[in-house]
Chains A and B, each alone.
Chain A
Amino acid sequence: MANKYGDVIGVAVLAVAVLLIGLFQVFQPGGATFGDLTGGIVTFSTMVRIGILTIVIVGLNMLMGYAGQISLGQAAFYGMGAYASAVFSTRPELFGLPESLVAMWWWPWVVILAAMGFTGLFAYLVGRPILRLKGHYLAMATLGLGIMVYILFRENFGFRTTETNITGGYDGLFDVPRLAIGGFSLWPVERYYFFVWAIALIVIVLAMNMVKSRPGRALRAIHSSEIAAETMGVDTASFKVQVFVISAVFASLAGSLYAHFQAAVSPAPFSFEGSLDLVVMAAVGGMASVWGAPFGVATILVLEDLLRARLDLIFEGASGEIEVIVFGGLLVLIMIFMPEGVFVGIRNRINAWREERAGAAGDALPEQGAAK
């Protein structure tokens, strides 16, 4: 069994790591930025993106890892947050709202919260019917949902671009403002980094509290045996929808943070490939583990940066396609040797090794077994 305070220690370790990376970037000891530390391979902005995507993956983990309900359309919710923030914080007049709101520092925050609410409501309305489906059927339904939402973004909700430009079509939207609290801007990137990771850590703590409690046990029960969960009194339909909504709200929040980080949105990250990337990140981190989320995201993003920067050393003149192939190959290897996810896999191996050692020492200290 994991240590009772394992999660608290985990949060502390992650927070310290975040803090160290951030402080390094801020003070640049010896004139070296965080990027220099990694030989220019992993940039500081990758660290921000890890924080943003961690928020999505924590939610996806609760949905897939804990409740066992697959979603191949999670990027849709991520995109809804991003587009809502981009559209409403730049051109509220499109929807009959006063144009002067753009100048208000609090307006983007209102949009973020409203987007979370709207995305949650949307997930609720869509989730009620489709979460009755199981397994592959649910995968297909969420896949279809994701593609539909993506096409709505890409095709400007069917409006002719020249008349009513909401999403900006293929090109997307630009000039999304940075967030600020009163007169204090959450930019440059170092400030935004701390802000994003503060939110990510809060989300991790909230999710951890949820999965360790009554509703979290209900989710795991549904995953394990839906019929047993139901006969034990778990309203399975309701809990599946609730976790779907929670995952959508987290994704929407992350999407808004992404829009204000990039200062622009375009449809590509919210396509089916985007959803697939999210599932891969969740799988690499380890499904039934809140901790897997930052780990899985970091693994994938750092790997991407690494491949982009160093692949040409292995393959002369290697371009994007080779990167994708190597990336896919690595994923296959991970899935073969650590199907439970890299983070969970390493943790399980360490636990097994420790137990083995404790077992060997157990001859000398027989009371150790009772303390476990």
Chain B
Amino acid sequence: MSVTLPDEQTRQAAPPRAETLLSVENVDMVFGGLKALNEVTTQILHGQIKGIIGPNGAGKSTLFNVVTGIYTPTNGDVCLNAESLVGLKPNEIAERGIARTFQTIRLFGDMSVLENVMVGQHVRTRTTFLAAALRLPAARREERAMRERAHELLALCGIPDKADTLAGNLPFGQQRIVEIARALATDPKLLVLDEPASGLTGVERDELVALIRRLRDDGMTIVLVEHDMQLVMNLVDEVLVLDYGRAIAEGPPDQIKTDPAVIAAYLGEDAGSLV
């Protein structure tokens, strides 16, 4: 593994803990005159589930877009295993081990569920146009292995029978699950879920929570943005609260629930609605 050491100053300011997977350091994201992210700093530890909450426009999705390379931060640094991701294209970041889902589902609707998952494996596979055209033995082997692995992932996500269905024809809740399966197919170190429960029915939501727990038990590190407060508080190890692009609080759910800054900024006066 190639490791870029952070410069001396950064190391003194925030000594990287051995178990830190993703570190976001003093990230600013400026759009014109708007500071969508303002000196956001946070760490995500190996095996942790981290929730990011905050009112609409707080910068949650912006933070995700910075981490996954869709935006390049104006200032600051994002490191995966102490290797900076700033300036890398989204596909290069996927290669380094961050996979995401989208708030508005972006499945490949006219491809089958299995094919969607196989696109996720793209970054871990090699077959070129030429090898594919000539059906070289290596290409056929790889294709077979991809197919098997994709079936495994669908089984893991509880939808083994949907492999041949067109992704666009699935019910909404299952589309979200396929997005997760597709993200898992990239063999990620960090799974980034953007509002995975939004628009789901109660049953679908329970299935989603069960899946996320199963992934965590398998050692997956997960960061999620979610509006469903009950889901966040029950699921995550730690919560980061954003407000107007600033990180205003960070800690275990119980601590966040009673944090006066969070209650004031995020929930107004009515602390009861938090739980």
Contact = CB atoms under 8 A, between A and B. Distances in A.
Contact of B122 (A206, A207, A214): A214
B110 A231 contact: no
A224 B142 contact: no
B244 interface: no
Given A209-B135, A224-B109, A234 B129 contact: no
A221 B111 contact: yes
B108 A233 contact: no
B52 interface: no
Best-surrounded residue of B93, B108, B129 (most CB of chain A within 10 A):
B129
A65 to B, nearest CB: 11
Given A210-B132, A213-B132, A231 B90 contact: yes
A211 to B, nearest CB: 9
Interface in B90-138: 90-91, 93-95, 99-100, 102, 106-112, 115, 118-125, 127-129, 132-135
B68 interface: yes
Nearest to B127: A214
Contacts of A1: 112, 164
B70 interface: yes
Interface in A186-239: 206-207, 209-210, 212-218, 220-221, 224-225, 227-236
Interface in B158-217: 164, 182-183, 186
Nearest to B136: A209
Contact of A213 (B90, B91, B102, B139): B139
Nearest to B95: A233
B115 A217 contact: yes
Contacts of A213: 127, 132, 139, 143
A220 B110 contact: yes
B123 A233 contact: yes
Nearest to A211: B132
Interface string A99-119: 000000000000000000000
Interface string A175-188: 00000000000000
A104 B108 CA distance: 52
A217 B118 contact: yes
Question: Which of A217, A224, A231 is most buried by chain B, counting CB atoms within 10 A of its CB?
Answer: A231
Nearest to B110: A224
A216 B95 CA distance: 19
B141 interface: no
B142 A217 contact: no
A215 B109 contact: no
A270 B169 CA distance: 42
Contact of A217 (B70, B95, B111, B133): B111
A214 B142 contact: yes
Nearest to A229: B119
B134 A233 contact: no
Nearest to B126: A214
B132 A224 contact: no
Nearest to B185: A232
B269 to A, nearest CB: 39
A224 B111 contact: yes
A348 to B, nearest CB: 12
A214 B143 contact: yes
Contacts of B142: 214
B256 interface: no
Nearest to B94: A233
Contacts of A228: 102, 106-108
A120 B245 CA distance: 48
A235 B91 contact: yes
B118 to A, nearest CB: 6
Nearest to B167: A224
Interface of A: 1, 206-207, 209-210, 212-218, 220-221, 224-225, 227-236, 242-243, 246, 288, 372
Interface of B: 68-70, 89-91, 93-95, 99-100, 102, 106-112, 115, 118-125, 127-129, 132-135, 139, 142-143, 146, 164, 182-183, 186
9 smallest beta-carbon distances between A and B, as pairs: A233-B123, A233-B94, A213-B132, A228-B106, A224-B108, A206-B133, A214-B127, A230-B90, A225-B106
11 contacts: A1-B164, A209-B132, A212-B132, A214-B118, A214-B146, A217-B118, A217-B119, A221-B111, A224-B107, A228-B102, A232-B91
